[in-house]
């Protein structure tokens, strides 16, 4: 990528707190509280309504309504439940790890509250793909189809390992707002010295350029600390016992979730590549996934 090229991911025009203007009027956000877990969610219903429901999980820092784009992947007469992930919107998320079982139980509480029946189909995009894969690994018998779109969670980089998985890293995060501007200055120097690729520089700036965004990163990392899929060998054993449940899709030009990450799914599930970057929720890409040639 040269200096004049734009990174192939979209900057967040909307925060997860803002409902996109294109959202159908009947898709309304609600909040369900179960124990100590809050889940903000919305439901899309097909014409005539349905009690059969698919669950779709959005990407980092995005509004849940993004997942309306996966409707071509739904079975006929199927509703779509779109929860906000932890630390997004009004969903729980702070400096404490959420238990995966508590979060999934709260999600089942949403289904019961709304009179919906989960049909076993789970769709996860980017960060939502990591959560989807983790849930499958913990409760594989509950799923009949898991579709991963540019899934995070296959490769844990050293920076994340330090910040989240070590006591020193977590201590640094608790007071890192004081150092955020310094980090931006260091990154800018590295970019000026041609030691940092342009797209990586832009990606870091996206997360560090405001106090609000950096606080969201920290809350998200902490609250989803337990939401990581198991090692490759364990995941392979689970998928073998529950054959033909998972499939994964990657963008051939993705600079956020690199297509090389798909190697981690070897022997676990079929993997498909598409002519795009990180935008696997694009209409043309979703149609391609829904109707493979």
Contacts of 6 (CB under 8 A, 6+ apart): none
Question: What is the β-pairing status of strands 79-83 and 145-149?
Answer: unpaired
Q: Exposed/middle/buried for 106, CB within 10 Å: 0-12, 13-18, 19+?
A: buried
Residuewise pLDDT in 10s, the chain (293 residues): 333 333 333 444 456 788 888 899 999 999 999 999 999 999 999 999 999 999 999 999 899 999 999 999 999 999 999 999 999 999 988 767 899 999 999 999 999 999 999 999 999 999 999 999 999 999 999 999 999 999 999 998 777 788 788 888 877 777 777 777 888 888 889 889 988 888 778 777 877 777 777 888 888 888 999 999 999 999 999 999 999 999 999 999 998 899 999 999 999 999 999 999 999 999 999 999 999 87
Which residue in 1, 69, 5 sits closest to 286, CA to CA? Answer: 69
Domain 30-155+229-290 has CATH 3.40.50.1820: yes
Which residue in 127, 161, 157 sits closest to 281, CA to CA? Answer: 127
> Helix-strand-coil percent breakdown of the chain, rounded to 5?
40, 15, 40
> What are 56's strand-pairing partners?
123
Residue 12 is predicted with a pLDDT of 43
Contacts of 52 (CB under 8 A, 6+ apart): 75, 77, 78, 79, 116, 117, 119
Handedness of CA 287, 258, 210, 187 (dihedral sign): negative
Residue 95 is predicted with a pLDDT of 67
Contacts of 143 (CB under 8 A, 6+ apart): 120, 121, 122, 135, 136, 242, 245
Task: Give yes or no for a contact between 66 and 85, defined as CB atoms under 8 angstroms apart.
Answer: no
Residue 160 is predicted with a pLDDT of 77
Its pTM stands at: 0.88
């Amino acid at each position: 990528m040269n200096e004049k090229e734009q990174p192939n991911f979209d900057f967040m025009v909307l925060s997860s707190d803002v409902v996109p203007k294109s959202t159908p009027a009947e898709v309304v956000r609600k909040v369900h509280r179960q124990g100590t877990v809050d889940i903000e969610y919305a439901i899309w219903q097909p014409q005539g309504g349905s009690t059969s429901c698919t669950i779709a999980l959005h990407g980092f820092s995005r509004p849940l309504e993004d997942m309306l784009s996966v409707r071509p992947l739904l079975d006929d007469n199927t509703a779509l439940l779109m929860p906000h992930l932890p630390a997004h919107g009004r969903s729980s998320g702070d400096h404490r790890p959420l238990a995966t079982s508590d979060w999934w139980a709260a999600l089942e509480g949403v289904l019961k509250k709304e009179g919906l029946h989960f049909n076993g189909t789970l769709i996860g995009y980017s960060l939502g793909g990591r959560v989807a894969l983790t849930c499958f690994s913990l409760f594989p018998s509950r799923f009949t189809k898991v579709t991963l779109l540019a899934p995070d969670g296959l490769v844990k980089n050293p920076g994340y390992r330090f910040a989240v998985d070590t006591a020193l890293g977590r201590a640094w995060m608790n007071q890192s707002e004081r150092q955020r501007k310094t980090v931006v200055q260091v990154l800018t120097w590295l970019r000026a010295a041609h030691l940092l690729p342009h797209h990586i520089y832009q990606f870091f700036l996206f997360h560090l350029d405001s106090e609000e965004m950096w606080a969201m990163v920290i809350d998200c990392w902490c609250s989803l600390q337990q939401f990581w899929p198991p090692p490759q060998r364990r995941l392979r054993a689970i998928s073998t016992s529950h054959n033909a449940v998972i499939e994964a899709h990657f963008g051939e030009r993705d600079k956020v979730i690199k297509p090389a990450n798909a190697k981690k799914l070897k022997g676990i599930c079929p993997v498909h590549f598409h002519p795009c970057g990180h935008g696997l929720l694009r209409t043309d890409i979703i149609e391609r996934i829904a109707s493979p040639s």
